Amino acid sequence: MQDIQPLKHRAQEFFSGLQDQICQALEEADGQTRFREDNWQREGGGGGRTRVIENGAVFEKGGVNFSAVAGVLPEEFAAKIGQEVPNATGREFFATGISLVLHPRNPYVPTVHANFRYLEKGNAAWFGGGADLTPYYPFREDVVHFHQTLKTACDRHGAELYPRFKAWCDEYFFIRHRNETRGVGGIFFDYLADEPETRFAFVRDVGEAFLPAYLPIIEKRRNNLFGERERQFQLIRRGRYAEFNLVYDRGTVFGLETRGRTESILMSLPPLASWVYDYKPEPGTPESEAWAYFTAQDWLR
């Protein structure tokens, strides 16, 4: 029997529960520290829970945010949001979702990002989100595992979804001013407005696929030995991550434009990063080999 509760409330409950599930698993994986939680209210309507983990055995810094906010969009920004969705007119909005970024200490453990969200604007509603992996020293088997886990979740809802959303991810997480991808991709989707119950089922499946996609990679790489060379390379690549989030990321722009909580919005930035003038990896080094991964590829071929 279909739940008669409005979709917006069921989506909000799912994202809240997913935050709990992911945070508990990440604390267990780290084994040394726990998340700090800040509950906050948004001026204009709604609020959220920001959970941050720092200085752990695995995670140098990470955050898992949940929010449910509502209000009226600034007029200029409202004109830009939801243009791809019929009836997405007006300035009143509701948005709920979960967003996470994890920056591990060990350069052999990848940074990871995921975001799953539901938005309403005027008479329109849609889902968006995705998950992507940003290794510093990539291992192909890890990249394949991450993509295959997401593909399996997508395939339950149609064989066409993973190729479509994988390509969308490659396009979205492309650092245009660097002519390189942010990492090795994953899936990205937005403006899923048709058949809302079907789309919600899809979002639940891919959201619950995050932990099995990422946790096994942590366990494989967390004890890899590294030195100052690997650490410096990690910081250079983190600089690229910061560039993307500050210049292109839709979530960052949406949060700032809707007067969200700045500390929560910028939680995605790494604790340390480096910008080396005209950096180029030395040919024949592990860093040069890693650099070859930062281009769109078919990882499952």
Task: Tell me the pLDDT tens digit for each residue of 124-176.
Answer: 999 999 999 999 999 999 999 999 999 999 999 999 999 999 999 999 999 99
Residues 300, 144: contact at Cβ < 8 Å?
yes
Higher pLDDT, 47 or 155: 155
Domain-located, residue 299: no
> What total number of domains does the chain contain?
1
Domain-located, residue 2: no
- Residue 3 pLDDT class (50, 70, 90 cuts): low
pLDDT at 1: 43
Q: What is the H or E stretch that residue 188 is in?
A: strand 185-192
Which residues does 290 contact at the CB level (< 8 Å), separation at least 6? 135, 136, 137, 138, 233, 281
| Residue 216's CATH number | 3.40.1500.10
Q: What SS3 state is found at 232? A: helix
35 closest CA partner among 47, 21, 46:
21
- pTM given for the model: 0.94
Q: What SS3 state is found at 165? A: helix
Query: Is 113 a residue of the active site?
Result: yes
**pLDDT (average), residues 78-93:** 84
pLDDT of 188 above 60: yes
pLDDT of 44 above 60: yes
Residues 265, 255: contact at Cβ < 8 Å?
yes
Domain residue limits at 70:
7-291
pLDDT at 86: 84
Q: What SS3 state is found at 144? A: helix
- Residue 115 pLDDT class (50, 70, 90 cuts): very high
Q: How many CB atoms sit inside 10 A of residue 101's CB?
A: 22
pLDDT at 79: 81
pLDDT at 4: 65
Domain-located, residue 1: no
Choose, from 9, 103, 113, 145, the residue flagged as catalytic: 113
pLDDT at 261: 77
Domain-located, residue 297: no
